[in-house]
A and B are shown apart, each in its own frame.
Chain A
Amino acid sequence: MFSLIRDTLLSQAVTLWRVFRKLFVKADTVQYPEERPYMFPRWRGRIILSRDPDGEERCVACNLCAVACPVDCIALQKTETEDGRWYPEFFRINFSRCIMCGFCEEACPTNAIQLTPDFEMAEYVRQDMVWEKEDLLIDGTGKYHDYNFYRVAGKQIAGKGKGEALNEAEPVDVRSLLP
């Protein structure tokens, strides 16, 4: 009988009392916009395209962000400079569909696409939430300061010939018989 009362009534009463005491606890609510919360650097907010340390576009239009995107809100088209560097002819994010999941950033092999702590992206016109490359591209390296994909990758571009990437030997002389 006692255990019944303890389990049914007493425990409920204790719960009620504990919740009641919360009346005198300070609320956790942050009074945005008067109060600005601290945004952590790895917050997943507005998406940007960054540049490599040499100031060139990092995006190589590999399409991995687009395929990783669960809502399919990224569309781009690969094109190529004279010297063989791939870059996007256009790069479009439909932020009215974006769910800020960050899969694109995870998929990006060149650290080009990054999510930033900016979350204030509301627009009165939905069409304004479609961002093109001009809107996305920033003039810095974003969170990753040193990485330069073309310094690592074997593909030849202007200013970096065959055998000049990270860990590469001089190109082979096909005519040579030396071991």
Chain B
Amino acid sequence: MTTMTEKTKVEIIIDDVAHQVNAGGNLLQECLSLGLDLPYFCWHPCMGSVGACRQCAVKQYRNEDDRDGLLTMACMTPVQPGARISIADPQAVDFRAGVIESLMISHPHDCPVCEEGGECHLQDMTLMSGHNYRRYDKKKVTHRNQYLGPFINHEMNRCITCYRCVRFYSEYAGGVDLAAQAAHHHTYFGRHEEGALESEFSGNLVEVCPTGVFTDKVFSERYSRKWDLQTAPSICTGCGVGCNTAPGERYGELRRIVNRYHSELNGYFLCDRGRFGTGYVNHAERLQQPQDAEGKTLDAETAAARLREIAGKAIAIGSPRAGNEANHALRRLVGETNFHGGFSAAEQACMDEIAALARDPAFHNPSVREIEQADAVLVLGEDVTNTAPRIALALRQSVRNRAYELADSAKIPHWQDAAVREIAQRERSPLYLFVNGATRLDDVAEANIIDTPSGLAREAFALAHRIHADAPPVGGDGEGNAEQLARIAEQLSAAKRPLIVAGAGSGQVELIRAAGNIARALHKRRGNGGQKPVDLCLLTGEVNSMGLHLLTRPENSLAAALDKLANGEAENLIVLENDLYRRAPHARVDAALNAVKTTVALDLLPNRTTARADLVLPVAAFSEQQATYVNYEGRAQLAWQVHRNHSAARPAWQWTGEFAHFREALNDCAASAPAMARLAEVLPDTSHLPGGGKLPRQPERYSGRTAMKANLNVHEPKQAQDPDSALAFSMEGVPARRDATLLASPWAPQWNSNQSISKFQDEINGPLRQGHGGALLLKRGAGGAGFHPVAETDGTTGIELAPAWQIFGSEELSARSEAIRRRMTDAYVAISPELAAGHGLSHGAAVNVRGENASVTVLACVRGSMPAGVATLHASDRDIDFHGLGARVSLAPAAGDTPAAQALDRGLGELIVSDLAREG
């Protein structure tokens, strides 16, 4: 349901009580919006109604005198002014009890060994409908399960055939490998053969399935019931979107991530990196104690004192994956002039451009919800599915706006899912992708413009010129696809809400400038004065890329820092949560590290930088500390601490000793950086809590309090204190029953599953009643800048090198998680078949990539749709000097028996692309 229907309120009468509801909605949705309990299965707030399960039956009456009424499915019945319905009517109650009884006929007797137990929508609805005894004495239908990969468990016996899984997986998320099979009571939901589910959003099946057919396999390995998970509102650190998550902890381990509803951002869905990519928090190699260069353990006080000692003559390098407080505390420690951003040179350039465009009044940086509302989209160079997967899911919804338009013209309400799809057939809103090969969004894209990065930039500049003549034209052979560009220009100009997407992931600042030009051209075309800004979505790479950029002086790049260090301008170096070898040419990092006297690295897992450090300070993982992160929109959000770390690891801002409390660090950060001025707004208002009371992190039914640590000492320790937040490590306190901004794990009486979120929403799909935490930091300036001139081609030839992103493996920390590693490919370079043939390379063979200052050995990945002039390199978790290669590379087959080639043992089997040129 991407577009909201008009919000006129009408009065209907439910069980003799008058209620104000939205006109144009359906009865089920409106009943749930009102907080009434009406059981349902197949309806989903994001996927509309299909009327498959028959569970939401209500009685509808013609008028006041009608005593008989008609049974009707609430989810399929539009709201009509003055309608009279009854949920409590005995016949409706009886009908619903009968439906649930027949749905439960073949349900296996296995709730105790089901991961869904305790948060099962089917359990809730069974109880609500009053079915408690199996009268049917015939045999139960059984099914064989499938292996569905490392993320998802399959237990088909539990299925009640609501079709939500395939409706989400194929219709909503565009997956092709899960479908309904067989017929009647043999209906089976699975793959054509065993194998990992391909979709990047398969994890959502866990939450979409109302019962335990699809369960979280990673969670099941270290399982706890929902009521036993200590939970706090958190932010996903997998990419720059900043989806809201609810991590759950038990016995000191981070057990799982589930979605936390945010009406503007992630809504009800997460990507698989976010859901399964946090296993690194429990990694056996986590840094536990401060260590010196010899690996000798230091005590925390000595180590902290040493950090402060060397800070006077140090340069500090911040981290886009650390929170604002950590970066700011380090900035305070070494002084603003000595604090450098931790971006690679290419990303730094992109970030500078993104930050400039983000302040331009001509543009609007859309939220995920707003992206879904775009009716013409252009993606420039960014492989969104792999760099910001949740945005890709939203783009996939945006193409349905054409369907909603058609539905409107036929007076079909948007929630009539099957009808809307039927009327649209294959009509879609335009989505154009400027890419260097096939992507996972191709199936909904109108067309792909495939070229090398520099070629894409030229074409994008040309497109801008086509949209508005003020945009600078491209000379020479810029318009290879003139016809297509004309059509794109026309469709973007005609659209009511066009959207341009670009991002730092492409590593091509020209593409971002071109995106700016296109958006500005669209803006100019809209006419003069007071126009609506154009949606320009510029994606940032990591969870706090934007925050770090806002805290860093423009000239303080990583490259500048490495130069200063190599020239001996600073004695010491402090690296915050950053592996410099991922960000800069290895030779330059080595030169810098060799020149400094003392290197201090603060990180949570050992990496190449901590291996070179003279002092390593362990820091807390995202779930072990409170922090604020700024997402791609400039939205600052607070991630609460979920659990405690029992080693010496602590938040980086605590190591600096600059601040005693989180609040101080945050407020000082807000005060000292103008762009961060609104940061303090992310702190919740807890004035309504009586007597400084706290909210519990543990659910009311948290078990084992007096036994979980009894093996260590039968005398229970004092409750851990949390002076830095409004949450307590306890089940005591004021439960956030009515305030879901502070409640990670929604629960309402009779609603134990995640579906209980409807009890906290203003209305279905609306914001939470108390609003969402977070603040948009960026203020748009007064006057817009002009068009950017077209980049001159530098005339060099050779194969252009671009990064290839993978949802599983590109992000540094999630790539250390066990579950993600099972889906990771090895390092590879993707090339076109021509290029492969020209160099005598076959798919999967080891290839030597030679660049300016480095040469690396990776696997060759031959992809049919790629242009000849480009090679995209995916480093996976290998020690690959990507930045040392430079912009142009050459290829040569590598001998398979070299150590570098031998190390590549993971293969490319997990790679999911449509244009793979498999041989043999």
Contact = CB atoms under 8 A, between A and B. Distances in A.
Asked whether the complex places CB atoms of A and B closer than 8 A, the reply is: yes
A168 B183 CA distance: 19
Interface string A77-93: 11010000010001011
Contacts of B138: 167
- Interface SS of chain A: helix, strand, loop or mixed? loop
Interface string A52-66: 000000001111101
B7 interface: no
A-B pairs, 5 with minimum CB distance: A154-B108, A75-B704, A62-B112, A66-B703, A75-B707
B296 interface: no
- Interface SS of chain B: helix, strand, loop or mixed? loop
A168 B406 CA distance: 47
19 contacts: A67-B228, A75-B703, A78-B224, A80-B221, A93-B707, A94-B710, A109-B112, A126-B714, A129-B714, A130-B710, A130-B711, A132-B711, A153-B108, A155-B114, A167-B139, A170-B142, A171-B144, A172-B141, A172-B188
B703 A171 contact: no
Contact of A94 (B111, B228, B706): B706
Contacts of A96: 714
Contact of B225 (A63, A92, A155, A174): A63
Nearest to A163: B142
A176 B710 CA distance: 55
Interface in B698-716: 701-708, 710-711, 713-715
A170 B223 CA distance: 30
Contacts, number: 145
A63 B137 CA distance: 29
A77 B108 CA distance: 23
Given A60-B112, A172-B143, A92 B703 contact: no
B143 A168 contact: no
A75 B710 contact: yes
A76 B708 CA distance: 8
Interface string A84-113: 001000101110110000000000011000
Contact of A174 (B114, B188, B222, B251): B188
B82 interface: no
B714 A174 contact: no
Interface string B697-740: 00001111111101101110000000000000000000000000
B706 A168 contact: no
B220 interface: yes
B181 interface: yes
Contacts of A72: 702-707
Given A73-B706, A77-B251, A63 B109 contact: no
Interface residues of B, number: 50
Interface string B169-193: 0000000000001111010101000
Given A94-B706, A172-B188, A155 B155 contact: yes
Interface-centre pick from B111, B118, B714 (highest chain A CB count, 10 A): B714
Nearest to B117: A62
A159 interface: no
Interface of B: 108-114, 117-118, 137-145, 155, 157-158, 181-184, 186, 188, 190, 220-225, 227-228, 251, 701-708, 710-711, 713-715
A155 B111 CA distance: 10
A62 B113 contact: yes
Given A63-B228, A153-B109, A177-B183, 17 more contacts: A60-B113, A63-B703, A64-B112, A66-B228, A67-B703, A75-B708, A80-B221, A86-B112, A92-B711, A132-B711, A149-B112, A153-B113, A169-B141, A171-B143, A171-B144, A174-B182, A177-B182
Q: How large is the interface on A (under 10, 10 to 19, 20 to 34, 35 or more residues)?
A: 35 or more
A86 B113 CA distance: 7
A97 B225 CA distance: 22
Interface of A: 60-64, 66-67, 69, 71-78, 80, 86, 90, 92-94, 96-97, 109-110, 126-127, 129-130, 132, 149, 152-156, 162-163, 165-177, 179
B117 A69 contact: no
A175 B111 CA distance: 29
B714 A127 contact: yes
A63 B706 CA distance: 15
Given A67-B225, A149-B112, A169-B139, A97 B144 contact: no
A71 to B, nearest CB: 6
A73 B703 CA distance: 8
